[in-house]
Structure 1
Amino acid sequence: MSAPPVLTSVQDGIGTITLNRPEARNALNQAMRPALAAAIAQMRDDAQVHAVILTGAGGAFCSGGDISAMLDTSRTGLAFRKGMRELHQWFPELVNLEKPVIAAVDGPAFGAGLSLALAADFVLATRRAKFCAVFGRIGLIPDLGAMHLLPRIVGQQKAKELVFTARTVDAEEAKQLGMVFDIVDDATALTEAALALARRFGEASTAAIGMAKTIMNQSFESDARTIAELESYAQSVCRGSAYHQEAVQRFKDKQPMRFDWDKSK
């Protein structure tokens, strides 16, 4: 019996999604796609999960699409279109997941793997991590949201240069470009850093973080007035929660945050 293509776990309020095709450097194949969609839905629906770590098994994050499957000439253009539409149905769920998402990248994040990393709120990388919009090397264009996310992170000119040349970016340059939040030495340190960052969100209101994330994600498509209106609605919800009153009192008493799920509603 083959191993599942995607593994999930939840411990102490931190959910982990692990791409689990190490023999293929976690290339995204047909079996992995619905499994990844189900994993994202699991993390979305679990009220006890306050942060999500997305990573890959076996020293690779994700090497992109499954190249061997691309050699199959029996699929029609309509079949490809159907597959892409299925991908693009669940990918926005990851981008807009109302919880902090941390991509822990060791090794390659190429092609679709780059898109998955960019979908996270924070990207942590080892020194051996590599990023590449590799699509141009095989006559394709970036997909899985890359052409929406990349220009917003690195700017239009740099995004075009990375896409047109399909060159590889190391961790240091990726950090300079704003693609990477922080760099660590190795895989062990990567796991520790991802967990430490996830724990920082553990005593904050996940509802407030989720609404703030949603509004910030909308800021590139909306004008200032619309964002202000969204802020006012979201703030009204936050102010109306019992948790807010307790949190204010704890702040006044110089006590640490302590998130209470029951009072957050």
Structure 2
Amino acid sequence: MEALRLQREGGVVVVTLSRPGTRNALDEVLREELRAVVSRLADDQDLRALVIQGEGGAFCAGGDLKSIGGSRLDADGWRRRMARGHEWLKPLLALNCPVITAVDGAAYGAGFSLALVGDFLLAGPRARFCMSFLRVGLMPDLGGLPALVAALGPRRARELALSARELSAVEARTLGLVSECHDSERLPERALEIARAFEGASPAAVALIKSEIRNLSAGHIDDLLHREALGQVVLFDTVEHREAVDRFLNKKPATFLWPRERSGERHDS
């Protein structure tokens, strides 16, 4: 594979995003390889836990804005693009085994959404989380909004999506998004420790626990992702989005940035 590295040890699979030159941005190659890998894992009866991590000092910088900026898609084209992302996201969310995401570095935009797929989200000291979509005139996708609402409630989800501000590992842990924080060297080892523990757990019990929690979600995932895709298709065609992507590609400041705190201010936990 070109953009992913896979490692298997018994019932544990480790998927490493391996596009360090782009901070593991979700370009077409990476998305297609994720689709192929998740499709295989969904039918793997021996899978007991999955670890997702990034290499090169980043988890995932989000969507590939270079390819987005160069696209000349109509509404149907953007719908197909969104649908291809959901082809691997939905079976990943539906896996019957625990998913551990290990974040050390940027988890921005769709990368933050991917990190939130983890039943256990571990973070290193370099981890930075940001629902950065509004900076480029878009709404959170890859299930980011329902994941935030489920984890934090509507008010806090609105705050993070509308501010598009960055969270450190410590603040994300305080909010309850991050399960554990570890040094960079310890992080992959700890993710594997948690994954290996589930080789001794009842796969039927784990599957039923995950299934029941999914059933308790506020809305059916297919409906949520369908509405997400419809909204994003509209936003892809706006002047604000096209101008924001152009500014990003030309290394100009975004027109929308959350104001920095003054000395002595802090966010309530």
| TM-score normalised to structure 1 length | 0.79
Output aligned runs, 1:161-180, within 5 Å.
161-180=159-178
Structure 1 partner of 2:55: 57
Of residues 29, 44, 47, the one that matches 1:46 is 44
Asked if 2 retains the 8 angstrom alpha-carbon contact of 1:62 and 1:113, the reply is yes
Shift of 1:12: 2.7
Match of 1:74 in 2: 72
Q: Distance in 2 between matches of 1:37 and 1:9?
A: 17
Q: 1:109 offset after TM fit, Å?
A: 0.6
Runs ≥4 residues deviating over 4 A: none
- Of residues 91, 97, 105, the one that matches 2:103 is 105
**Is residue 26–residue 56 contact of structure 1 (8 Å, CA) maintained in 2?**
yes
The equivalent position to 2:204 in structure 1, one of 200, 207, 218, is 207
Displacement after TM superposition at 1:73 (Å): 4.3
Q: Name the CA distance, whole Å, in 1 between partners of 2:57 and 2:200.
A: 31
Q: How does 1:1-265 map to 2 (within 5 A)?
A: 4-186=2-184, 188-221=185-218
Q: Deviation of residue 52 (structure 1)?
A: 0.4
Q: Distance in 2 between matches of 1:199 and 1:89?
A: 27
1:95-153, CA deviations, whole angstroms, 9 ceiling, x for partnerless residues? 12100000011101101101111111110000110100000111111011111111110
Distance 1:71 1:41 in 2: 29
Which protein is bigger by CA-based radius of gyration? 1
In the superposition, the TM-score normalised over structure 2's length comes to 0.78
SS in 1 for 2:25: coil
Counterpart-to-counterpart distance in 2, 1:111 and 1:172: 19
Q: CA RMSD in A?
A: 1.3
Q: Deviation digits for residues 192-214 of structure 1, max 9, x if unmatched?
A: 11011112211111122012111
- The one-letter amino acid of 1:172's match is V
Identity %: 40
Query: Does the Cα contact within 8 Å between 1:19 and 1:57 map onto a contact in 2?
Result: yes
CA distance in 2, matches of 1:211, 1:17: 24
Structure with bigger RCO (C-alpha 8 Å, 6+ apart) = 2
In 1, the alpha carbon distance for the partners of 2:71 and 2:44 equals 41
Alpha-carbon distance between aligned partners in 2 of 1:90 and 1:185, rounded to the nearest angstrom:
30
For residues 14 and 143 of structure 1, the distance between their equivalents in structure 2, rounded to whole angstroms, comes to 28
Summarize deviations over 1:160-206 as a string: whole Å, max 9, x none. Answer: 111111000000110111110000011x2011110111122111111
Q: Is the 8 A contact 1:43 1:52 kept in 2?
A: no
- Aligned pair count reads 219
Alpha-carbon distance between aligned partners in 1 of 2:154 and 2:166, rounded to the nearest angstrom: 18
Q: Deviations over 1:196-244 (max 9, x none)?
A: 111221111112201211111111248xxxxxxxxxxxxxxxxxxxxxx
